[in-house]
Structures are given as C-alpha cells and as structure tokens.
Amino acid sequence: MSHAEIRMPVLEWQQLQDAKQKLEGDLAAAMKLLDDARLDKGTGDARNLAEAVNVLLPVVQFAIAHLEPRMFRGWPHEELRAFAELLPDLPGLPTDLRQTANDWKLFCDEAKRWEDARAEGKQHEMLAEENATRSMDVSQAHGHMGAHILEGAEAAAGAAQLIVKP
C-alpha cells in the first residue's frame, strides 16, 4: 500500500477547507439555478410536477419507515426502485436526495427478498432466522448487562464490608 504525507500550516489547511466549503455552496447554488432554469423553460406543468414530488416525498418516507416488508406483503418495490432511480435527476428537488434514493434502493432489495421468500414459501424460515439473530443479540446484550450488574453488586458488597468492619 502506498502512503503519502502532506505537511502544511494549520492556517493554510483551514483556508483550503474554507475554500472547499465555499465551492460546495457555489455548486449547490448553481445546481439550484440550473434546476430553476429547467423548470422555467418548461411549462407550468414541470414546476407543478416538481412540487407534487416534493409534497409526496414525506409520504413515501413515512411508508418506508413504518411499513416493514417482513410484516406487509405486496410492497411495490419495483415501482419504488424506478422512482428512486429517477429521483436524483428530477429538477427542483433537494440535493440530498441522492443518498435518500440509495437508501430506498436498499429497502427495495429487502422488500424483494421478502416477496421472493413468500413466493417460495420460505417466509417463516426467514422470520425464524431473523428472530434467532435478534434473540442472540438480546442475549448477548443481557449477558453484558448481567456482568455489569454483578460487578456493581460485588462492588457494593465490598463497600458494605468496609463500612461494617470496625
């Protein structure tokens, strides 16, 4: 593995960081201007469409957060994936949607996995595996908590012996 080391004064480093931050802000502003120009170039329908997508984003995010694929059959994961693919390129939307779109694609993978398992009759196996994994995680957590409780109890008992001894 190759290794490079750069040495510079802290002030110079801070100036580079400030310049980077300014350029990122300029880029975001330019992207917004470009989106606005793309929307203005089109009909009012384009602006209305962007506005409608902005209004619906929280609804989609709510559904993803609260309707787990393992509990709800029939998730329209193919449609959600198609929407997630289109989302970053739509004008008039927040720039942080690229990561949101990637998260949605992961969610779609999970939804597809559950739908495939249901189609193959293996959803109960998957649920049992998930529960076993969760049980092991909980047992380990309880084991760690139990060790801490015992340590605390031993420390308290030791302190009580010190107090009782003349």
Determine which of 27-41, 48-62, 89-103, 120-134 has the lowest per-residue pLDDT on average.
27-41
Residues 131 and 58 in one domain: yes
94 exposure class (CB count in 10 Å sphere: 0-12, 13-18, 19+): exposed
Q: How far apart are CA 16 and CA 75, in angstroms?
A: 47
Residue at 153 is within a domain: no
Q: How far apart are CA 111 and CA 105, in angstroms?
A: 10
- pLDDT over 90 (residue 43): no
Name the domain count of the chain: 2
Residues 81 and 125 in one domain: yes
Q: Which of 123, 51, 43 is nearest to 93 (CA)?
A: 51
Model confidence, pTM? 0.54
Residues 28 and 89 in one domain: no
Q: Which of 78, 95, 122 is nearest to 35 (CA)?
A: 95
Residues 71 and 135 in one domain: yes
Q: Is residue 53 within 8 Å of 93, Cβ to Cβ?
A: yes
Rounded to an integer, the average pLDDT of 63-92 is 89
Residue at 74 is within a domain: yes
